Amino acid sequence: MTSVPEELRYTADHEWLRWDGNVVRVGITDYAQQALGDIVFVSLPSLGSDVSTGDVLGEVESTKSVSDVYAPVAGRVSRRNEALDSAPELVNSDPYGAGWLAEVETPGAPTGEGLLDAAGYARLVDEAP
């Protein structure tokens, strides 16, 4: 069973977002990490780099494939989860906690436009082949 926390927002590309003011923490969903399998490497964005919505924010490499992670919001990368350098498996064991990828500081309060709430994301996952 896939975990879909109510307090988060989601993208159709299986990223999750948690807002704290104008800072957005980003990771991949439980569904995504299950589909990928054992994660062996995570490539994170450079600290201070500017990203636009839809840009590649990083890559997650598993024993099955390499998948891009997309920026769900525009802004500047203000923090990276350095723990993933030595423990990429945190994305598998705790995708909504210790397995987060990066934080993006947005120029204003994010609107959440185009994002899914938990119910919408759960429907998307249920309809997946």
Q: pLDDT digits over 41-90, tens only?
A: 999 999 999 999 999 999 999 998 999 999 999 999 999 999 999 999 99
Adjacent-strand bridge partners of 56: 70
Q: Determine, yes or no, domain membership for 123.
A: yes
Question: Distance between CA 128 and CA 125 in Å, rounded?
Answer: 5
Q: How many domains does the chain have?
A: 1
Q: Determine, yes or no, domain membership for 82.
A: yes
Locate tokens 């938990």: which residue? 118
Which structural domain range is residue 16 located in?
9-127
Q: Determine, yes or no, domain membership for 1.
A: no
Q: Determine, yes or no, domain membership for 60.
A: yes
31 and 14 in contact (C-beta within 8 Å)? yes
DSSP H or E segment with residue 86: helix 83-86
Question: Distance between CA 7 and CA 61 in Å, rounded?
Answer: 27
Q: Determine, yes or no, domain membership for 4.
A: no
Query: What Rg value do the Cα atoms of the chain yield, rounded?
Result: 13
Here the CATH number for the domain that contains residue 87 is 2.40.50.100
Q: Determine, yes or no, domain membership for 2.
A: no
pTM equals: 0.93
